[in-house]
Structure 1
Amino acid sequence: MVFKEASRVTGRCATTGSTGADIREVFCDRVNFYATPELAGAAAAADPDLAVCSVDEGWAIGKRLADLF
């Protein structure tokens, strides 16, 4: 599936807790973007380790992690 558009209002980001040596392992390999809160919620319901947040919150998390590297 190709992700063509994301709305900052309705899009959601989901990630799992992780440890690793580089930003790709810590963030990029563990984050998924969903077009709607419902899609993200369904993914989170299927995996209790997922945390769902807004696209803006996901960007802020990624930025904070990138600043560590």
Structure 2
Amino acid sequence: MIKGRMKTAKSQRSQLVNVGTPERPIWVSEKALQPETKEGGEWWAMIAEGSVVLKPEVLDRLLEVTESEKS
């Protein structure tokens, strides 16, 4: 995975992680990779309630990565 920084719409800096490839990056919040933490749980709750919307391929890849890290 590649870590990087990307500006948000609010001009804040968010820590993002590329769970894709360099050729086809998929940037997600670093918190999303830690669903067992308080911040990660809050992030996943926002996905569940629909306040954070991910493209299906992004969500699929994120689920793959978090499941493989549990193993």
- Coarse TM-score class (shorter-chain normalised): 0.3 to 0.5
* TM-score normalised to structure 2 length: 0.32
Q: RCO greater where, 1 or 2, for CA within 8 Å and sep 6 or more?
A: 1
